[in-house]
Homo-oligomer: A and B are copies of this chain.
Amino acid sequence: MACYKFYYCLLAALCLCSFGSYAQKKLPQQNTLFTAGHATAFIGGLYDAYYPYSKLKQHGDFGLGAPDKLDGELLVLDGRVYQTQHTGKTFEVKDTELTPFSVVNFFRTDKTFKTKVQLTKDKLYSYLDSVMPNQNGIYAIRIKGAFNTIKTRAFPPVTKKPYIPLADMLPLQKFFTFNNIKGTLVGYRIPAFMDGPNITGYHFHFLSDDKQKGGHIIDLLADDITIEIDQMDSFTVDLPQTNDFNNFDFKKDRREEVKRVENGKKN
């Protein structure tokens, strides 16, 4: 393990253009990870939206989430909200529309790293671990550059209630593979103690530079990327004031379901 860490420290050092830069001073309210909705409830089938994008933008200019009735995947970049449907169609949503679950923050770069070494998803995550050593830190991560391969998925919309849990929707997800594509990964590394309101570990969505392609990251091969990191020091969870939420059973253990949803694997 120690040896493994050393390799990635070395890799970090070898990325000659790696540098740390402490950017503009953040206001306290800009250093909070804001969640509209609750991940456990969402994964359990609460796909009906309740939180307007106009209000979401007051809590962040960067993030990811889900559209109303699970109609694809959502990404927030530079203050704009994009939806990628299961058809692959990607477009900007209207401020008046609503989300059932989204995670946003005001992205203010704490540190920047550049790497030109080809990295698989696992190697990228290990590299990120090496530059984010605080296991209990909440990190927002923006990765922009050229990718050899990006594999994403998007869910089709649900149509009638009661909705089935997200893990049971996995056979219906659609996959997309993009080669030699430029774009941005928007995501987070969420610490273990946020399991429940959020999803722990790495979680990325993708948007191509031409804003025409996107989805939830399943796999990737990075060629030449710039990684920006923003560490937060607090989190806020907004709870849906709905009957569905009030009656949701939070005592059921859904950890296995969450893992399957993140990996996009049916079993």
Is there a chain B Cβ closer than 8 Å to A66's Cβ?
A: no
CA distance A32 to B248 in the complex (A): 20
A144 within 8 A of B: no
A238 to B197, CA, bound (A): 15
Q: Which of B32, B138, B239, B251 contacts A233 (CB 8 A)?
A: B239
Q: Digitize A179-200: 1 where CB-to-B-CB distance is under 8 Å, 0 elsewhere.
A: 0000000000001110111000
* With contact pairs A32-B236, A236-B234 given, residues A248 and B197 touching in the complex (Cβ less than 8 Å): no
> Is A7 an interface residue, CB under 8 A from the partner?
no
A99 to chain B, nearest CB (A): 15
* A195 / chain B contacts, CB cutoff of 8 Å: 196
Please provide the chain A residues from 186 to 245 with a CB less than 8 Å away from any CB of chain B in the complex: 191-193, 195-197, 233-239, 241, 245
A135 CB to closest chain B CB (Å) equals 7
Residues 71-114 of chain A: 1 if any B CB is under 8 Å from the residue's CB, otherwise 0?
00000000000000000000000000000000000000000000
Contact, CB under 8 Å: A193 / B196: yes
Check A250 for interface membership: any CB of B closer than 8 A: yes
Q: State the copy count for this chain.
A: 2
Instruction: Check A238 against B246 for contact (C-beta < 8 Å).
Output: no
Task: Indicate if A38 sits at the interface (CB-CB under 8 A).
Answer: yes
Q: Which residue of the partner chain, among B136, B137, B237, contacts A235 with CB atoms under 8 Å?
A: B237
Distance of A192 Cα from B239 Cα, bound (Å): 13
Instruction: Tell me if A136 and B236 are in contact (CB < 8 A).
Output: no
A250 lies within 8 A of B192 (CB): yes
Binary CB contact string for chain A from 28 to 48 against chain B (1 if under 8 A, 0 otherwise): 000010000010110000000
Decide yes or no whether A21 CB sits under 8 A from chain B: no
Q: How long is the Cα–Cα vector from A197 to B251 in the complex, in angstroms?
A: 16
A246–B137 touching, CB < 8 Å: yes
The one of B234, B241, B246 in contact with A239, judged by C-beta atoms closer than 8 angstroms, is B234
Contact, CB under 8 Å: B241 / A192: no
Min Cβ gap A26→B in Å is 13
Alpha-carbon distance A233/B246, docked complex (angstroms): 11
Q: Which of A135, A191, A236, A239 has the most CB of B within 10 A?
A: A239
User: In the bound complex, how far is the Cα of B233 from the Cα of A241, in angstroms?
Assistant: 7
Enumerate the 3 nearest inter-chain pairs by beta-carbon distance, A residue then B residue, closest first.
A236-B236, A193-B250, A234-B238
Q: List 5 A-B contacts (CB under 8 A).
A: A38-B193, A41-B193, A135-B247, A191-B250, A193-B196
Residues in A lying within 8 Å of B, measured CB to CB: 32, 38, 40-41, 134-138, 191-193, 195-197, 233-239, 241, 245-248, 250-251
